[in-house]
Structure 1
Amino acid sequence: MEALEELEKILRPYSETLPFDSTTSVAEKLCRVSIRRGGDEESEKACRLLGMLFINEGDNPETSELFHKVKTILLQRGTPSALEALGMACFVGAEDETTTLRTMASFESFFTKAGRAEAFTMAAAVRAWTLDATTLSPDVLLEYVLGESGRSAGLAIRRYAVKETPKGDGPRDLKLAATGALALVLEMTTTEEDSDEEEEDEDTDGGDLTSFSSIQESMTGSLIDAATSPKILSLASLETALDRVSDGLSSGRKKVSSKDKALRKRIAAELESDVVIEIGNREVVELYRRVDLTRLNAFRSILESGSSDHLAYNPFLRDVFELGDPPARDASANPNSRKYFGDEKTRSRSRAEGRQYNNRRNELWD
């Protein structure tokens, strides 16, 4: 365990400077030893490192092959960190939409069957499902959630999003993940042209959720519920606000009307998903689509402090967010590079300063 912690310290700067050149060997070692046979804490750290490897390597034939190698092991492990790593592996390495849909179906087995997994695991499966759904074309996603294969997933996600919040961090995390999934599906499917409405008359086999309009109404209603009901926690960050609301109850009478309004505004603002961030090279990026925020949250979960540097210099991430080619790395604008590796100019200057110090010291003693 101590050895793995030391390894994590060593690899921390690597998450910010992209030096991996032997992804397959490192990933297979992580899966074979730490993820499959390690303890909970060891497996969790190894899964994060595995996700980091996929992000470092980017989209190429190697990562596609690696994704298929690690998929079974991660599903068998079935922990939140393993599902998160698999979601990222699929996002990076899946070669086509059919492969993505099959992986999404694997995630669904964790949250569509009652009692299959605990709430935190179900939430991780929903988030991984949502991340991979961002890679689908809108018509494929719509056909999937309306079809026989994905219909149960859509209904389960809607149920978790609108259900009153039970006690516990896990169920609240599940509600947050489900609300995000609903927002994503609604955003992606409503970006299609109005010609989709012509297909409504073609799907008349009966049953609910069998047309574009019905799923749109269902999901819109779910999001309205999430944004207006004070009983529903749609954001993990609002737990403190809810606790304050609970503290405001006395003698069976609610004295929290103003707090309720503020709470609803904050939830609605989150669902609007408009975020401006400054990344490592002082570049300002505005993200306003749920698709982009879903991806950003997934990358941040794995990269943590390295996410800003990756957005600035990782060609794969810049392609994902359509930021263009990365600028030339400048050690003066990137303290991490100077801190951990240093360029040749920095090293030469240090050696020169050292020689000057030694010369002055020798002159004093001569």
Structure 2
Amino acid sequence: KSTRGHHGNVQPFSDEDASIETLSHCSSFSDTTSVADEGGEASEDTAQEDFQYKLKGFIDSTVDKSAKTRQGALDGLKTAMATRILYEFISERRMTITDSIERCLKKGKGEEQRAAASLACLLCIQLGSGIESEEVFKTLKPIFKNILADGSANIQARQAVATSLGLCTLVAEDDILDVQATMECFENLFTRSYARMDGTCPSINPQTSQLHTNSLLSWALLLTICTPNQLKDILCKHLPKLPRLLESEDVNMRIAAGETIALLFELARDVDSDFEFDDWDALCDKLNALATDCNKHRAKTDKRKQRSVFRDILKAVEEGDFQSEAIRFGTERMTIDSWVRKRTYDAFREFVGSGMNYHLQANEFIRDVFELGPPMLVDSATMKAMKISRFERHLHNSAAFKARTKARSKFRDKRVDVGEF
């Protein structure tokens, strides 16, 4: 069973996905503090030991002969990593877990491959950016790329790999030129959904369309870490053609294409505030048509979802505007105030599901990505005393995020000769 998340993508992880059978193995996934209240620290230690014992059991079971047992073990590990910070436990066993993921990707069937691909992302999210996740990714990247490029491979596995390869690259790729090579793998797929020059659309089945959509969203995620020079090349090469994806029969592809176009305009204007696009009027007409779509052949729910998103996309292209959204977690809040931030947040949330608020509070790597500083464990009274006005907080978040993006671009520029590619 799979649940549909943002854009209707099949989410690699959702807490609803973990079957009852899997969760029965994970009865101690609930917070250990409830146990601690009753019996003090000894009970908490016991609960922690039980939990780690179960995790070790899952790791052992990933090499079981039974596909059902392997699948349950992968799901159990996914649930644990999505809902807890397990850095030390995982760090000691990262190569063992990587070997299991590799074996399941190579020898498993669709669902098992999908679970293994998702687990690879959660492993990188737990380890954060650095040598440990780089080692994991060096092992898995060639396998991911082989599955993605193999037209005869299981389509669900290819869809999952398209999403996982994007996020693993964001977290763990240490070479900006390799980021570019991975982006080209995604381009090889989503460009097949382009409408032809005569306006007709290629005939693509829904499963393949989902693969192309996932590839486009991963490509868009990697746009957020491109150097200014790379961005200039991409704008010349891809921005004139991307609007051809807006003709797609698939509502999820139309929305993903629209959001990617809005993201590209935002990034282009960050590099050059006077950025102009030759086919701007034609693009705005097309976006406006989708924002007011009354095509009788389309489902009502699809049209409603599409119209809402395309109103925001049209504002982004016409006015450089973004509809901000506040995310609250614990005693803190974060503003999603740009297309860059939205694409990044959506990408992480796709893997950790309802554990996102917990990771925003406690995962140092994710807090670093969103410039939230070290984990804060303050009570609500302290927080009230520290409160600043909503407007000031928005300005601070916005400035901090832009500063980080610019610093990151400069840092990446230093790691490579940034002459024309």
What is the TM-score when the length of structure 1 is the normalising length? 0.68
The alignment partner of 1:277 has SS state of strand
CA distance, structure 2, for counterparts of residue 189 and residue 62 of structure 1:
33
Tell me the residue number matched to 1:55. 125
Which residue number in structure 1 is paired with residue 178 of structure 2? 99
Of 328, 340, 343 in structure 2, the residue corresponding to residue 278 of structure 1 is 328
Identity %: 21
Q: Where does residue 307 of structure 1 map in the other structure? A: 356
Q: Secondary structure at the match of 1:113?
A: helix
Distance change >3 Å, CA 11–CA 213, structure 1 → 2: closer
Equivalence for 2:371: 322
Taking a change above 3 Å as real, the CA distance of residues 81 and 10 of structure 1, as seen in their structure-2 partners, is closer
Q: Which amino acid is the alignment partner of residue 104 of structure 1?
A: M
1:175 aligns with 254
In the other structure, the counterpart of 2:291 is 227
1:1-366 matches, within 5 Å, as 1-7=67-73, 8-19=75-86, 20-21=90-91, 22-31=93-102, 33-78=103-148, 79-113=158-192, 118-146=208-236, 151=237, 153-161=238-246, 163=247, 165-166=248-249, 171-194=250-273, 212-214=276-278, 220=284, 222-231=286-295, 240-242=300-302, 264-265=307-308, 267-269=310-312, 272-279=322-329, 281-328=330-377
Q: Compared with structure 1, are the counterparts of its residues 37 and 80 closer, same or farther at alpha carbon in structure 2 (3 Å cutoff)? A: same
Q: Which runs of 5+ in 1 are unaligned?
A: 198-211, 244-259, 331-366
Deviations 1:21-80 (A, max 9, x none): 13233123202x211221111111111111111111111022223323212211222211
- Structure number with larger C-alpha Rg: 1
Secondary structure in structure 2 of the residue aligned to 1:325 = coil
Q: CA RMSD in A?
A: 3.0
Give the length in aligned residue pairs: 281
Residue 224 (structure 1) shift: 3.8
| Alpha-carbon shift at residue 10 of structure 1 (Å) | 5.0
Alignment match, 1:341: none
SS of the residue 1:324 aligns to:
coil
Which segments of structure 1 move beyond 4 Å, counting only runs of 4 or more? 114-117, 215-222
For residues 125 and 290 of structure 2, the distance between their equivalents in structure 1, rounded to whole angstroms, comes to: 32
Residues 60-106 of structure 1 show CA distances to partners (whole Å, capped at 9, x for unaligned) of: 02222332321221122221101111001100112232221111011
User: Any idea what the Cα deviations from partners look like across 1:184-225, whole Å, max 9, x if unmatched?
Assistant: 10111112344x66xxxxxxxxxxxxxx53276665555444
- Preserved CA contact (<8 Å) 1:110 1:122: yes
Q: Distance in 2 between matches of 1:120 and 1:74?
A: 17
Deviations 1:106-163 (A, max 9, x none): 11111223679810100010011011111124443122331xxxx2x445532112x1
Q: 1:139/1:273 Cα in 2 relative to 1: closer, same or farther (>3 Å)?
A: farther
User: Which one scores higher on RCO, CA 8 angstroms, separation ≥ 6?
Assistant: 2
Residues in 2 aligned to 1:111 and 1:104: alpha-carbon distance in whole angstroms: 11
The change in CA–CA distance for 1:222 and 1:23 in structure 2 (over 3 A counts) is: farther
What secondary structure, in the 3-state scheme, does the structure 1 residue paired with 2:335 have? strand
SS for the counterpart of 2:125 is helix
How far apart, CA to CA, are the structure 1 residues paired with 2:307 and 2:147? Answer: 38
What is the alpha-carbon distance in structure 2 between the residues aligned to residue 61 and residue 157 of structure 1? 35
3-state SS in 1 of match to 2:271: coil
Match of 1:257 in 2: none
Unaligned runs of 5+ in 2: 1-66, 149-157, 194-201, 317-321, 380-421
Q: Which region of structure 1 is more displaced relative to structure 2, 317-326 or 121-130?
A: 317-326
Structure 1 residues 323 and 220: alpha-carbon distance in aligned structure 2, compared to 1, 3 A threshold: farther
Task: Check the 8 A contact 2:85/2:363 in 1, yes or no.
Answer: yes
Q: CA deviation at 1:14?
A: 2.8
